[in-house]
Amino acid sequence: MDLEIADEIHQTSEPAGKPTAETMRDNNARLAGIIDSAMAAIITVDPDRRISVFNRAAETLFDCPAEEAIGQSLENFARTHITTGARRGFVPVFSSSKELPIQSEIAARNRPEQWLGNCEERYRLLVEQVQDYGIFMLAKDGRIISWNAGAEQIKGYQANEIVGRHFSVFYTAEDIQSGKPDNELRLAAQEGRIEDEGWRLRKDGTGFWADVVITALRDEHGKLRGFSKVTRDITKRKQDEEKIKRLNTRLERHAAHLEATNKELEAFSYSISHDLRAPLRHINGFSQALLEDYADRLDDTGKDYLQQVRGGSQEMAQLIDDVLQLARVTRSEMCGETVNLTELAHSIMTQIQNADATRTVTLHIEEGLSTHGDKRLLGTMLSNLLANAWKFTAQREQAQITLAQSRNGDEPVYFIRDNGAGFDMSLADKLFGAFQRLHGAGEFEGKGIGLATVQRIINRHGGRVWAESAVDQGATFYFTLGHFEETGNEEHIDLIS
C-alpha cells in the first residue's frame, strides 16, 4: 500500500491522537458528501430534536430545501411536511444523535474543534450503520478507503478484506476490459457525480443489478480528495422490469392479433348485413307472392307451410338485426355526458306502453336518478331491462315494475324489479350469454340477445350487473355504473360469447 493510500485510510478512520480542526473539517466534508449523494432520504436530529442533517434525497422527497429544514424541530417539520413525503411513499425513519456521547449542539459550537469532532462522529455512525445501501469512499485512484455495513451485506466482503483494494473488483471482466471503472471516476471528477445501473459482482462471484452513484469529494480549496460511492442492489426491481417488458411484448402481439381478428369480424358483420339479408328478402318476398298470386291453387296446408316459411325468414332477419346491434354496442364510440336515468326510463316505458295499450302495469320510477355515461348506450341498456320486465309480467293481472336506487357503501346500485315469472337461480350463469334462454319460445318470445347487450354496455361503463330471482316470484336486476372514461372506437371483439 503506497503512502498516499495509507494517508487516505488514516484520515477516514478513528484518529489515534487529537485531530486538528482542519483534518476533522476535511473528514467531515467527505462524510457529508457521502450522505448527500445517498439515494435514500436521510434526516438526523440533535439532542434537542432539531434537524441537523437533511440530504439531497430528503430535499426531493419532501420538496423542502435543506436550509429551510435544518434547525427546525422534528415535530414542527413533521406537521408541515410529512404528508408530502407520505404521498410519495415515505416511511418515517429518523436517526437521532441522542445516543452519541456528546454534549448538546449549542454548547459544542462554542468549542469549534469539539463541534467538528461531534459532526464527524455523527456522520460516521450514520454511514456505518446503514444496512440497505453500500456506502464507501475511494481514493483518487479508485482504491477503497472505507466500508459500511450495507456494503458488507450487499457485496459480501468484510472491511479488512476489501479496504485498500481497487473498486474495479466489483465489475465484470467485460467492464474492466473496456475501462469502465476508471472512466466512471474520470466522469465523476469532471461532472461532480454520475449515476449508473449495471451488473456488479459479489465476493462469491455472483452478479447483482446495481444502482450506483459516484460523487467527487473536494476540499474547501476545490482540490479532489477522492470519491464517495453509494450502491443499491436493485436486482428484484430489474427482474420485475424485465417481466413487465415481456408482458408488454405479449400484449403487443395480442393487440396485433386482436386487430386482425377485428378486421375479420368487420368483414363478417358486413357479410351478415348484406349477403345474408338478400336471400332472406327473396325467401320472404317469393313466399308472399305465392300466397297472393297462387292462393286459389293452394290448399290450407300449403298456405300454412308458406306462412311458416315467411315467419322463419322474418325471425332470421330479426336475429340478424339483434346480432348487428350487439356488435354496434360492443364497438361503437362512447361519448360521456350527464344522463337523467329517471327521464330516460319514463320515455322508454311510454313507448312500451303505447305498443301494448291493452295492459295495465303499475310503474314506480324513483325521481332524481342520474349518472355520467353514454346516453345512447344507457338508453339501450334500460330499454332491454324494462322490456324484459314488461314481457315477463305479461301473465300478471297486477303487474308491477320498479326502477330505483340503493347503495353499497359509497357506490350507487340501481335495480329494476318486477313481479313476473322469475327464473331458477341455478341457471343464472347462462343469463347474460348471447342466445341463452331460460324460458321456452312458447312461453315468452325473444332471441336471448337483450341481456348480453345489457352486460356489454354496463361493462363498457366500468360497472357490473347481476340478478336475483325465484321461479314465479319475480326478478330483480341490479347494476352499477363505475368510473366512466370517454373512449374512441374500442377493439372489443367478443361479438358472440
Q: pLDDT by residue (tens digit) across 29-50?
A: 666 666 666 566 677 777 777 8
Q: What is the mean pLDDT of residues 320-328?
A: 71
CA distance 415 to 408: 12
Take residue 2 and report the three cell numbers written for it. 503506497
Buried b (16+ CB within 10 A) or exposed e, 167-205: bbebbeeebeeeeebeebbeebbeeebbeeeeebbeeee
Q: Enter the DSSP assignment of 296.
A: G
**Predicted confidence (pLDDT) at residue 378 exceeds the cutoff of 90:** yes
pLDDT single digits (tens) 250-274 = 999 888 887 777 677 667 666 666 6
Buried b (16+ CB within 10 A) or exposed e, 458-475: bbbbebebebebeeeebb
CA distance 286 to 294: 11
Per-residue confidence (pLDDT) for residue 285, from 0 to 100: 87
With beta carbons less than 8 A apart as the criterion, state whether 199 and 208 touch. Answer: yes
In whole angstroms, how far apart are CA 89 and each of 61, 92, 222, 443, 475? 9, 10, 37, 60, 47
| Nearest residue to 40 (alpha-carbon basis) of 232, 214, 208, 228 | 232
- pLDDT above 70 as % of the chain: 72
Per-residue confidence (pLDDT) for residue 330, from 0 to 100: 63
**Predicted confidence (pLDDT) at residue 92 exceeds the cutoff of 60:** no
Residue 357 CB contacts under 8 Å (≥ 6 apart), including other chains: none
Residue 115 CB contacts under 8 Å (≥ 6 apart), including other chains: 105, 108, 109
Where is pLDDT greater, at 315 or 302? 302
Take residue 181 and report the three cell numbers written for it. 471503472
pLDDT single digits (tens) 440-489 = 555 556 556 778 888 888 988 889 999 998 888 889 999 999 866 555 44
Supply the mean pLDDT for the chain: 78
CA 5 to chain centre: 50
Where is pLDDT greater, at 118 or 287? 287
Fold of 333-497: Heat Shock Protein 90 (3.30.565)
Task: Enumerate the H helices of 216-276 as residue ranges.
Answer: 235-270
| Residue with grid cell 450502491, as numbered in its chain | 231
In whole angstroms, how far apart are CA 358 and each of 18, 161, 354, 394, 420? 108, 97, 9, 11, 17
Per-residue confidence (pLDDT) for residue 194, from 0 to 100: 94
**Predicted confidence (pLDDT) at residue 66 exceeds the cutoff of 80:** yes
Query: Alpha-carbon Rg of the chain, whole angstroms?
Result: 39
CA distance 261 to 278: 25
CA distance 331 to 147: 62
Does the pTM of the predicted model rise above 0.75?
Answer: no
Fold of 131-233: Beta-Lactamase (3.30.450)
pLDDT single digits (tens) 121-138 = 555 555 666 667 888 999
The four Cα atoms 436, 438, 441, 447 give a dihedral, to 10 degrees, of: -30
With beta carbons less than 8 A apart as the criterion, state whether 28 and 117 touch. Answer: no
Per-residue confidence (pLDDT) for residue 80, from 0 to 100: 73
Helix axes 375-392 and 341-355, enclosed angle (nearest 10): 50
Per-residue confidence (pLDDT) for residue 284, from 0 to 100: 85
CA distance 234 to 267: 49
CA distance 303 to 307: 6
With beta carbons less than 8 A apart as the criterion, state whether 164 and 9 touch. Answer: yes
